[in-house]
Chains A and B, each alone.
Chain A
Amino acid sequence: MKMTVESRLPKLSTLSLVTMGLLMALQLVIKSFSVGPAFLKFSFTFLVAALIARLFGPWWGMMTAAVVDVIGTLMSGGPFFIGFTISAILGSLIYALFLYRQPVSWSRLIIAQVLISVVVNALLNTLWVAIMYKTPFWGLLPVRLLKEGIMTPIQIVLLYLLFKSQVVARIQQRLKL
């Protein structure tokens, strides 16, 4: 599987810059539209993060992910912890490595999403919670893994639908990417 990483940050057009800004706004908005019962809250921010990573690549993906994470937590009144920012950056990097300038395929989406769900959401985020609040790691991990097990298939299907949709194709065309 081929991956594309650029060593230099590509120069941005004004349209790309503003689009990224609006996608960041969208991410902050979507955060408040979560579905499901309280113990299984499911939010759709990963869709926007994946879209930024796909359209603009790993560098911009990682940087916007970091900024959205910091500003999102600070403004929702949640406690800031650098670990979660690292998780957000890693998630964006994984999306970009598999999706930036690559054809969309089931295998790519499945590998990327499973990697993020297991390594970032389950292992790392549990570790951060454990460090921050002294929650027992091995006690929390099964709960988290179970949640990710339910969510990951839904996430993969939604990502596929998004990337194959007319909307994304049209945006990509107009951005001349």
Chain B
Amino acid sequence: MSNFIFGRYLPLDSVVHHLDPRNKLMLSFCYIVLVFMANNPVSYLVIIAFTVGAILASKISLGFFLKGIRPLLWLIVFTVVLQLLFSPAGGHVYFHWAFINITQFGLINSVYIFIRFLLIIMMSTLLTLSTQPLDIATGLASLMKPLRWVKVPVDTLAMMLSIALRFVPTLMDEANKIMNAQRARGVDFGEGGLLKQAKSLIPLMVPLFMSAFNRAEDLSTAMEARGYQDSEHRSQYRILTWQRRDTVTWIIFVVVLAAILVTRRW
């Protein structure tokens, strides 16, 4: 329960927090492409500088970013160790035994991959920590609008998404209540073998499904009573505005992109 998805936003007053959510979404998608492009020490330095700059600008302390790395730790260790031990020959060989080679090439490669992991995780953690879920949803709905041209019902999906976000905390509370109620009747959650653990979740899931559906019925009746017919023919109350600082972030991004394009040839 410690990784509860809604408690992760950190309300701080920084430049990053005040950016347009659409802008932050686009930037973090493009950032991953940027990380893919770096291929030598200098280009990695450029992108590290950019990332550190963004983190500093957000005023969020480093400890929160380290927390974001924890769930992916085994994958990081697995990858780095495999790269280190089984990389193709190249450069100076430090250690050799049977099919295991620790080479200069492998060492450099695993350092790159380690950095790459850190960068990608840190930037996505930054987006989560500096943006409220509802803002992410509004931004996403706005970015999906062009999909209307391929007949995707964007407005309906946006409506579903805002209903979903509104009810995550409610259902979360409810799940906890049901768990406690079943515990009081003798159910042991998270104990015993895998199959027993899975089975013990049935007394949680079944009431949760039913309660979610009951809420859906009540909410849809109440929505129709307030004049809801469809998602298309309505106006908007929540409006996002693109500001000058959003334009500035793109100028910085393009500069970094240019720097990487230049340095990766070295």
Contact with A along B152-191 (1 / 0, CB 8 A): 1100110111111111101110010000000000000010
State the CA gap A124–B206 with chains docked (Å).
31
Q: Is the CB of A133 within 8 A of B113?
A: yes
Q: Is the CB of B165 within 8 A of A9?
A: no
Q: Is the CB of A158 within 8 A of B209?
A: no
Q: Cβ of B159: which chain A residues have Cβ within 8 Å of it? A: 17, 21
Q: Is the CB of B113 within 8 A of A25?
A: no
Q: Is the CB of A18 within 8 A of B6?
A: no
Interface size on A, residues (CB 8 A): 66
Segment touching B, from A76-84, A95-103, A104-112: A76-84
Q: Cβ of B74: which chain A residues have Cβ within 8 Å of it? A: 38-39
Q: Is the CB of B194 within 8 A of A154?
A: yes
State the CA gap A32–B1 with chains docked (Å).
6
Q: Is the CB of A154 within 8 A of B198?
A: yes
CB of A4 within 8 Å of the partner chain: no
- Total CB contacts across the A-B interface at under 8 A: 198
State the CA gap A35–B190 with chains docked (Å).
6
State the CA gap A3–B169 with chains docked (Å).
37
Q: Nearest Cβ distance between residue B117 and chain A, in whole angstroms? A: 6
CB of B250 within 8 Å of the partner chain: no
Q: Is the CB of B163 within 8 A of A21?
A: yes
State the CA gap A170–B206 with chains docked (Å).
12
Q: Is the CB of A32 within 8 A of B5?
A: yes
Q: Cβ of B113: which chain A residues have Cβ within 8 Å of it? A: 133-134
Q: Is the CB of B160 within 8 A of A161?
A: no
Chain B contact residues: helix, strand, loop or mixed:
helix
Q: Cβ of A25: which chain B residues have Cβ within 8 Å of it? A: 163-168, 170-171, 212
Partner of B152, one of A21, A40, A63: A63
CB of B243 within 8 Å of the partner chain: no
State the CA gap A129–B124 with chains docked (Å).
16
CB of A28 within 8 Å of the partner chain: yes
CB of A146 within 8 Å of the partner chain: no
Q: Is the CB of A29 within 8 A of B194?
A: no
Q: Is the CB of B216 within 8 A of A15?
A: yes
Q: Is the CB of A76 within 8 A of B5?
A: yes
A 136-176 contacts with B by CB, 8 A: 136, 139-140, 143, 150, 154, 158, 161-162, 165, 167-168, 170-171, 174
24 CB < 8 A contacts A-B: A15-B220, A17-B231, A19-B220, A21-B160, A24-B161, A26-B208, A29-B175, A35-B197, A35-B198, A35-B201, A39-B74, A47-B205, A63-B153, A71-B137, A71-B165, A76-B3, A76-B128, A77-B127, A77-B129, A78-B71, A80-B28, A133-B75, A136-B79, A136-B82
Extra 12 A-B pairs, beta carbons < 8 Å, given A17-B231, A74-B128, A154-B195: A13-B220, A22-B167, A23-B212, A25-B166, A25-B171, A32-B5, A73-B124, A75-B5, A77-B128, A139-B86, A143-B78, A158-B198
Binding site for A on B (CB under 8 A): 1, 3-6, 8, 25, 28-29, 32, 68, 71-72, 74-76, 78-79, 82-83, 86, 113, 116-117, 120-121, 123-125, 127-129, 133, 136-137, 140, 151-153, 156-157, 159-168, 170-172, 175, 190, 194-195, 197-198, 201-202, 204-206, 208-210, 212-213, 215-217, 219-220, 223-224, 228, 231
